[in-house]
């Protein structure tokens, strides 16, 4: 609709003033509620062409547009032209929307650009936590949104599976585990390994305390604690390929991967390709040494390799330590090298928290210096931190909220709230459990994704499961309500046609609902260009809120005018379809019964 009106404005300008204008000059938005009209055109960009004042220019353009069947009437408020769309146009538009099964999305073709999106990036020394939840939900939803915009998407993950932190878990298990396994303990593998990471820290702190009591300074005690020295020695053995250490490392990592997979599956996210730091860091070291030979980097007297970023207004960046071991930046260079060797990537997007803004600024510069044409164009999807009100959820380590615990709590709370409200009456136990799962995880996902990704947020579990307001359950319940209406219509023997009667006279409420529906493709496009699933979340909420007002004030199944009844059922059906599509772009299921 916006495109059609834009072309009509361009034609009117050409007819009135004999000049062609670019579509970018045509600024159209929804008319503000306090004014009459459906859409508003800003006329200020055309004043140089018309050589007239804003009100006269708006009036002339308005009169020209009423010659088209699209515009019924207009009014002018200073430099703004408010247009009322013809009633029959809305029905024609609606029937076009109704006929489009893929409404709001674009097809992915063989020639579509390829976007790779990295998200999750866990360490194999502990389970996924609350921070990972926001990361995974944003990353997965962004992939869905990009696909809806017609891009090929590769969902990817880089697992940080090597380093001193991994060796700490391994050493603690070796010393204190007594052969414990996920099977013998009944624990998920990632939780089991995480427990030994905590055990290492407890024992390490005890050794530090003992060394300080013997007269060592705190700094000396931290460096000389036997447990840390053993972990460092284990890391060296790992680097040297020691068979026993590598076997232990592989066994414990497999435990963690199995645990991660279970959490990912439950959260509803996945990946097309997983990379591991234990392999990519080698390519990174090779690239850094190549840059050293070319004079892109320099070596200090101690043998460490650095990049001087002064010309970019930044400081120096360490790339290889004096002992030749790599840092995170080295690994990211290696991972990027592998990825672009394997895929013809047009855009690389990293979904990583805003505490890493500097890291990705530097990575972009270094990749560019190393001769990678895509270095300057990488995108850091920088998002804010998420926290919980203190004491709301269990925390496995006292400071970190475990992802599995959080999901358990959300599903349990959803079940409890739904039962209190009578939403689950008459359902079987299996149906109750499934709806509690859909509702609980939907509440978690929606509450996190509705917030602008760039902002820090406070996640309140109880608030997120409210069946009123801007929440997942409110939207899910509305979808279930529409499905119930459609089921009753089918039971009454009403067969819905492919299109509505275009001779109907619609109310402003119904016309406004069609206009809101028509905005969906533009919202999906904007969410893709701005990397913001929040735009879709809040669009769906506004659509649902608008539909509920219509549902409350207008009869559907009891409407006596048969053609109008059919239209309202078709409208309800398409709104349910858009709700389902929008929520699916957020990775959220919508039930047909609640």
The conformation of residue 343, written as its DSSP 8-state character, comes to: S
Asked whether residue 29 falls in the same domain as residue 172, the answer is no
| pLDDT recorded at residue 393 | 40
Q: Are residues 573 and 479 in the same domain?
A: yes
pLDDT for residue 399: 58
Cα separation, 524 vs 532, whole angstroms: 9
Cα–Cα distance list, 528 to 145, 268, 378 (Å): 6, 20, 16
Asked if residue 328 is part of any domain, the answer here is no
176: in domain: yes
For the stretch 217-271, pLDDT in tens is: 999 999 999 999 999 999 999 989 999 999 999 999 999 999 999 999 999 999 9
Confidence (pTM): 0.90
Please state, in angstroms and rounded to a whole number, the distance separating the CA atoms of residues 534 and 586: 9
Q: Is residue 517 part of a domain?
A: yes
Q: Mean pLDDT over all residues of the chain? A: 93
Domain boundary among 217, 251, 270: 270
Domain-located, residue 239: yes
Give the end of a domain, one of 85, 111, 137: 85
How far is residue 375's CA from residue 363's CA, in Å, rounded to a whole number?
A: 8
- Same domain, yes or no: 169 and 72: no
Percent of the chain with pLDDT over 90: 82
Whether 443 and 538 map to the same domain: the answer is yes
Whether residues 427 and 571 fall in one domain: yes
- Looking at the fold, whether 413 and 561 belong to one and the same domain comes out as yes
Beta bridge partners of 458: 387
For residues 94 and 517, is the Cβ–Cβ distance under 8 A? yes
Share of the chain above pLDDT 70, in %: 98
Residue 263: domain span = 162-270
Domain endpoint, select from 270, 290, 309: 270
Structural domain includes residue 78? yes
Contact of 560 with 498, CB cutoff 8 Å: no
pLDDT of residue 464: 87
Is 330 inside a domain boundary? Answer: no
Q: Is residue 436 part of a domain?
A: yes
Q: Is residue 87's pLDDT more than 60?
A: yes
Number of domains in the chain: 3
Query: Is the CB of residue 135 less than 8 Å from the CB of residue 123?
Result: no
- Nearby residues of 291 by Cβ (< 8 Å), 6 or more positions away: 297, 307, 366, 369, 370
CATH classification at residue 575: 1.10.730.10
Whether 388 is covered by a domain: the verdict is no
* Domain co-membership, 49 together with 169: no
71: enclosing H helix or E strand: strand 71-77
* CATH code, domain carrying 66: 3.30.1360.70
Give the Cα separation of 385 and 355 in Å (integer): 9
What pLDDT does 450 receive? 96
Whether residue 391 is predicted with pLDDT greater than 60 in this model: the reply is no
For residue 390, what pLDDT band results from cuts at 50, 70 and 90?
low
The answer to whether the CB of 47 falls within 8 A of the CB of 53 is yes
- Residue 141: DSSP 8-state: H
The DSSP code for 121 is -
**What band does 30 get if pLDDT is binned at 50, 70 and 90?**
confident
The stretch 431-452 carries a mean pLDDT of: 94
């Amino acid at each position: 609709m916006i495109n059609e009106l834009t072309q009509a404005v361009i034609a009117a300008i050409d007819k009135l003033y004999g000049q062609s204008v670019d579509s970018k000059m045509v600024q159209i938005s929804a008319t503000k509620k306090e004014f009459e009209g459906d859409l508003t055109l800003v006329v200020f960009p055309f004043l140089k062409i018309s050589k007239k004042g804003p009100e006269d220019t708006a009036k002339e353009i308005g009169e020209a547009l009423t010659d088209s069947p699209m515009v019924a009437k207009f009014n002018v408020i200073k430099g703004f032209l408010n247009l009322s769309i013809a009633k029959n146009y809305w029905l024609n538009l609606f029937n076009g929307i109704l006929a489009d099964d893929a409404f709001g999305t674009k097809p992915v073709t063989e020639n579509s650009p390829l976007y790779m999106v990295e998200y999750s990036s866990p360490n194999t020394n502990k389970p996924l936590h609350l921070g990972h939840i926001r990361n995974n939900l944003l990353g997965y939803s962004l992939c869905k949104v990009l696909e809806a915009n017609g891009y090929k998407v590769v969902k990817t993950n880089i697992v940080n599976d090597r380093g001193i932190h991994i060796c700490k878990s391994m050493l603690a298990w070796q010393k204190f585990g007594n052969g414990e396994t996920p099977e013998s303990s009944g624990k998920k593998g990632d939780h089991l390994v995480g427990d030994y990471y905590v055990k290492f820290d407890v024992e390490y702190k005890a050794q530090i305390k003992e060394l300080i009591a013997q007269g060592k300074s705190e700094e000396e005690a931290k460096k000389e604690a036997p447990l840390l020295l053993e972990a460092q020695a284990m890391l060296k053995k790992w680097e040297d390929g020691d068979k026993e250490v590598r076997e232990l490392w592989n066994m414990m990592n497999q435990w963690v991967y199995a645990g991660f997979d279970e959490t990912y599956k439950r959260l509803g996210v996945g990946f097309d390709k997983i990379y591991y730091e234990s392999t990519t860091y080698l390519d990174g070291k090779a690239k850094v040494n190549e840059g050293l030979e070319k004079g892109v980097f320099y070596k200090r007297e101690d043998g460490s390799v650095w990049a001087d970023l002064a010309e970019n207004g930044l400081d120096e960046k360490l790339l290889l330590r004096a002992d030749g071991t790599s840092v995170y930046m080295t690994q990211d260079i290696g991972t990027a090298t592998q990825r672009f060797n394997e895929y013809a990537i047009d855009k690389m997007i990293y979904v990583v928290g805003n505490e890493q803004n500097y890291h990705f600024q530097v990575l972009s510069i270094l990749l560019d210096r190393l001769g990678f044409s895509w270095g300057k164009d990488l995108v850091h999807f920088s998002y804010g931190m998420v926290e919980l009100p203190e004491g709301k959820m269990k925390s496995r380590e006292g400071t970190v909220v475990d992802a599995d615990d959080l999901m358990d709590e959300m599903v349990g709370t959803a079940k409890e709230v739904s039962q209190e409200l009578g939403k689950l009456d008459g359902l079987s136990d299996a149906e109750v459990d499934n709806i509690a799962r859909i509702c609980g995880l939907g509440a978690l996902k929606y509450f996190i994704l509705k917030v602008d990704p760039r902002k820090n947020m406070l996640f309140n579990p109880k608030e997120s499961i409210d069946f009123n307001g801007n929440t997942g359950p409110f939207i899910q319940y509305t979808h279930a309500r529409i499905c119930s209406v459609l089921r009753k219509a089918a039971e009454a023997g009403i067969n819905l046609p492919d299109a509505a009667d275009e001779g109907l006279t619609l109310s402003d409420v119904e016309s406004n609902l069609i206009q809101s529906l028509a905005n969906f493709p533009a919202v999906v496009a904007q969410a893709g260009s701005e990397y913001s699933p929040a735009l879709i979340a809040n669009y769906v909420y506004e659509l649902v809120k608008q539909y509920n007002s219509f549902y409350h004030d207008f009869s559907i199944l009891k409407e006596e005018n048969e053609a109008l009844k059919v239209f309202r059922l078709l409208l309800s059906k398409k709104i349910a379809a858009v709700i389902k599509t929008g929520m699916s772009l957020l990775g959220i299921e919508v039930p047909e019964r609640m």
